[in-house]
Structure 1
C-alpha cells in the first residue's frame, strides 16, 4: 500500500479491531508471528529495523503507519516476559502469553512446540 508492506494484526473481526485499537492507543508495541507459517509459507521476508509498514483495519483500510524498532527470532519457549508485556494484551505472565498463543495458532491449524521459531516484531506508531 503506497509502496509499503501491510501489517494485519490477528484475524479479521473483533480480534483485529481490538489489536489495532491497542496499537493506536500506544498500548501494543509488539506482535508475534511464526517464521514457518507467516513468513516461509507466505513467501514473506522478515521486517527490518527502520522499515515502515501500513497498519490496516478489519476492512483492509489504512489506519496508521508503524516503524519497526526490533526484530528477534526466538524459540517459542524462550519468548520473554518483556515481549509478552509489549504485546499490550493484558497478560499476567509469560506462561499465560504462551497458552494464549498456542491456542490461537492451534485455531489457525498450526501446533506450536517449544522449539518453534517465533518472530518477535517490535514497533512504534510513526503516523496516525
Structure 2
C-alpha cells in the first residue's frame, strides 16, 4: 500500500475507533514528521509514542513561507516517521506564540527532549530555528516568534492497525 493510502487508512481506523467515519465526521488532519533530519524525526516520534513528548515548537514564519495555515486548538495531525509511515495521531490542545527568549522551562519540559531543561531546549532549538531561518531568508535572533504547541496523543498506529486497516473500517 502506498504511503498516501496508508495514511488515509490510518485516519479511517482512528475515526472508527471514536465511532465516526469519513462520511460522518467533521474532523480533518494534516500529516507530517518532526524535525529536519531522519534521526531527529524518528527519535521525537518515539518520545511522543512513549508519552514523554507532549509539545512541539515551530516557526510561524515557516508556515507563512510554505503557505500553510498555522495549527489551531482541536487540529489533528498524523505523525509519520522520516519515511512517511504513519505512527501516531495527536490533537492540538494549546497554542501560544512567544519570542524565543520567553519560552518557559515548563514548555521545554513538555517537549520531552534531552534532559527536559530550558537550557537544553534553547541550545537544540537555536540550532533548529537558525536552520529554518536560513531556509526562508530570515535571521535567527532571540526575538523570533516561536509557535508553542501542546498536544495530546490520541491514537498509536501499530502493525495490527496497518495490517487490518481495511477491515477496521467495514
Instruction: With the length of structure 2 as denominator, give the TM-score of the two structures.
Output: 0.69
Q: Tell me if 1:125 matches 2:153.
A: yes
**After the TM superposition, which residues 1-128 of structure 1 pair with which residues of structure 2 at under 5 Å, given as runs?**
1-2=7-8, 4-37=29-62, 39-91=63-115, 93-108=117-132, 109=134, 111-128=139-156
From the two aligned structures, give the one with the greater helix fraction.
Answer: 2
Unmatched tracts of structure 2, length 5 or more: 1-6, 9-27, 157-170
Tell me the distance in 1 between the aligned counterparts of 2:68 and 2:99.
Answer: 19
| Contact 1:84/1:91, CA 8 A, preserved across alignment | no
**What number of residue pairs does the alignment pair up?**
127
Larger radius of gyration: 2
| Contact 1:31/1:120, CA 8 A, preserved across alignment | yes
SS of equivalent to 1:98: helix
SS of equivalent to 1:72: strand
Tell me the distance in 1 between the aligned counterparts of 2:53 and 2:116.
Answer: 15
Unmatched tracts of structure 1, length 5 or more: none
Tell me the distance in 1 between the aligned counterparts of 2:99 and 2:57.
Answer: 12
Instruction: With the length of structure 1 as denominator, give the TM-score of the two structures.
Output: 0.90
SS of equivalent to 1:46: coil
From the two aligned structures, give the one with the greater strand fraction.
Answer: 1
Provide, for residues 107-128 of structure 1, a one-character-per-residue CA deviation record: whole Å limited to 9, x for no partner.
4436421210000011111011
Q: Structure 1 residue 106: deviation in Å?
A: 2.4
